[in-house]
Amino acid sequence: MSNTAVEVKQKTNLEKNSWWKNAVGYQIYPRSFKDSNHDGIGDLNGIRQKLPYLKELGVDFIWINPIYASPNVDNGYDISDYQAIHEDFGTMEDFQTLLKEAHELDLKIIMDLVINHTSDQHPWFLESKKSLDNPYRDYYHWVDATKEQLPNNWQSFFGGSTWTYCETTGQAYFHVFAKEQPDLNWKNPRVRHEIYQMIRWWLDLGIDGFRIDAISHIQKEPWHFKITDNQWAPFMNVAGIELYLEELKAIFNEYNIMTVGEASGVPHQEAAEWTGENGYFNMIFELEHCERIGEIGRQKGSIPHLKHSLNQWQTSLAHNGWNALYLENHDTPRSISVYGDDSSEAAKALATVLLLLKGTPFIYQGQEVGMTNYPFTSIEELNAADTIHFYQSLLTQGTMSKDALAIAVNWSRDHSRTPFQWENSLHGGFSTTEPWLKVNDNYQTINAAQKDVENNSIFHHYQTLIRLRKQTNALIYGEFHLLLPDHPTIFCYTRTTDSESWLILVQLDRKQTTVTLPNTLDYSNWEEILTTSDTKPLEQQMILSDYEAHVYRNTGI
């Protein structure tokens, strides 16, 4: 065997424990996935009903957003009991049945781990707020204050101060999200001990991993820290966080699971430290490629920014570390609307770019059938606390209500939270009752059942890409290289191993463009493996139009 062959073999052995590198994930927002008992809210038995659908798509694991007991101020991200299932979703028994049935189908389940904060209704906080000397007082951050004089001027992610004053004890408590989500005090070893026990409890139940929520916020700067340019700096990836992350890692490493940390504020330069060989997590969700377009005054996502940012992350993790790939989630609008024009061509083009990058792709529910943004016309139709707060603050600044609505909904989380569109029937087949959030009227044409009538549906394209990826070593491990870095709409890259090279060429716009590919490529040995339009041989000069995508393989290396 040649040296490279030995290396490849060793790598393959090593990667047996890294099942998540070959895997494709699917994110389920349970409130909006499938309602089995017709109360208008999606639930665990609804997910069970749809496991065959997920198998048909070809994914390997599902990540479920929080299903724990919660007053739902932030739709489950305010947890009042970590070891109980919210009654809207079912029971612990339902969860165990879901886990068992998923495992029988060879589908893994990743749970959301929300440990930066709890609900203000969690028993720890109910105790903590009672008195200065309550044994749970130090489970949270309390500082002397008055109603008028809060400890500092830091602002929370959901708007307003990070401090809420409590008259009972003359102190204020700290929260980076809503006031009903008090931040846990990670400095307190008792807090960490309780959290770690809870983590083990879930892992011992047999789940396959965690998506760790808002983890880059658990460490804070001293309260007297002065904000200069970045208003989030006091609680964004603050030095000292590594001590806690190391402790978490030690627990995770005892199990054969996958972990993905939501690591807002961690720059690509630090990504290898977070996800590399000695990293804290197997991978992280970075937020750099997701511009909050409404807030920066734009209607549409910028393709050059997307390319530039994804390229940085691909390059930074080329040799150490691993990417978590996504274009949308429960906190963002729909990618087909942000980067595309709501068409099936745009959906397929984006899918091609996403699924063949290096890393573990996450498909967000509905993305695979082309679900679009919701045409909100009134603030009453919205549920997300941060959007409503943003809208109100725009009104306070004197913005006309029509404009305020347009700006606020641009980046609203509610676009991706509308109920899943299963078929062309009442409420899109999600429920027989009025759902908790309105179904998009376009369910009549955009729905999962289209896959059974249309051969070239978006769903089928996802299926094909997933299959292709999973059977192709180069598409999993091959080196990434961006071509045409400065082209405003073409996303073009190669994935290369010692034995083959792949070239992905996608036009992310509804117009025709002529491109000249580098003359360093040998144009003689390329075979077209997949296209969303007419077949075209790969040549140095290519004319591409309307979101067309081509995938080529070269075995003549």
Residues that bind ligand TEU (CB under 6 A): 74, 77, 114, 157, 177, 213-214, 262, 264, 287, 330-331
Q: Please state whether 541 falls in left (phi above 0), alpha (psi between -120 and 50) or beta.
A: beta
Q: Is 188 strand, coil or helix?
A: coil
Which partner from the list Ca ion, ligand TEU, none does 177 bind, CB cut-off 5 to 8 Å by kind? ligand TEU
Kindly tell me which of 37 and 499 has the beta carbon lying closer to Ca ion. Answer: 37
Is 213 noted as a catalytic residue in this protein?
yes
User: Would you call 420 exposed, middle or buried from its count of C-beta atoms within 10 A (0-12, 13-18, 19+)?
Assistant: buried
DSSP, residue by residue, 265-319: T--GGGHHHHHSTT-SSSEEE--TT---GGGGT-SS--HHHHHHHHHHHHHHTSS
- Hey, what are 163's tokens? 């401090």
Is 161 in contact with 153 (CB distance < 8 Å)? yes
> Residue 211 Cβ, how far from ligand TEU at the closest point, in Å?
9
Using the Cα atoms of residue 272, residue 277, residue 278 and residue 281 in order, give the sign of their dihedral: positive
Of 88, 262, 286, 331, which residue is the catalytic one? 262
Question: Smallest distance, Å, CB 41 to Ca ion?
Answer: 4
Q: How far is the CB of 171 from ligand TEU (least distance, A)?
A: 23
- The Cα–Cα gap between 192 and 198 comes to 10
Q: With CB cut-offs between 5 and 8 Å by kind, which of ligand TEU, Ca ion, none does residue 85 bind?
A: none
* Least distance CB 37 / Ca ion (angstroms): 5
Q: Which does 74 bind (CB under 5 to 8 A by kind): Ca ion, ligand TEU, none?
A: ligand TEU
Longest alpha-carbon distance in the chain: 78
Q: What is the DSSP letter of 547?
A: T
Strand-pair category, 501-507 with 526-531: unpaired
**Pairing label, strands 25-28, 324-325:** unpaired
Name the CA dihedral angle for 4, 10, 16, 19, rounded to a multiple of 10 degrees. -40
Q: Which two tokens stand for residue 241?
A: 């966080």
Q: Which listed option, Ca ion, ligand TEU, none, makes contact with residue 264 (CB within 5 to 8 Å by class)?
A: ligand TEU
Q: Is the dihedral of CA 47, 51, 55, 60 positive or negative?
A: positive
Residue 528 bears catalytic tag = no
Give me the least distance between CB of 347 and ligand TEU, in Å please.
23
Closer by beta carbon to ligand TEU, 100 or else 292: 292
Q: State which residue has the least CB distance to Ca ion.
A: 43
Taking the least distance from each CB to ligand TEU, the nearer of 53 and 157 is 157
Amino acid at 380: E
Please report how close the Cβ of residue 286 comes to ligand TEU at its closest, in angstroms. Answer: 11
Q: Which residue, 214 or 465, has its beta carbon nearer to ligand TEU?
A: 214
- Measured at the CA of 539, the angle between CA 537 and CA 541, to 5 degrees, comes to 130
Q: Could you give the CA distance from residue 295 to residue 281 in angstroms, rounded to a whole number?
A: 30
Q: Are 79 and 69 in contact (CB under 8 A)?
A: yes
- Residue 35 touches which member of Ca ion, ligand TEU, none, C-beta under 5-8 Å by kind: Ca ion
At closest approach, how far in Å is the CB of 35 from ligand TEU? 21
If the CB atoms of residues 150 and 218 are measured against ligand TEU, the closer one turns out to be 218
490 touches, from ligand TEU, Ca ion, none (C-beta below 5 to 8 Å by class): none
Cβ-based nearer residue to ligand TEU, 114 or 145? 114
Q: Are 65 and 30 in contact (CB under 8 A)?
A: yes
Of 234 and 429, the one with the shorter C-beta distance to ligand TEU is 234
Marked catalytic residue, from 35, 88, 213, 414: 213
Q: Which is nearer to ligand TEU, 262 or 500 (CB)?
A: 262
User: Quick one: how far is CA 369 from the chain centroid?
Assistant: 18
Helix axes 458-470, 344-355, angle to 10 degrees: 10
Shortest gap between Cβ of 22 and ligand TEU (angstroms)? 26
Closest residue (Cβ) to ligand TEU? 264
Summarize as ranges the residues that interact with Ca ion (CB under 5 A): 35, 37, 39, 41, 43
State the catalytic residues: 213, 262
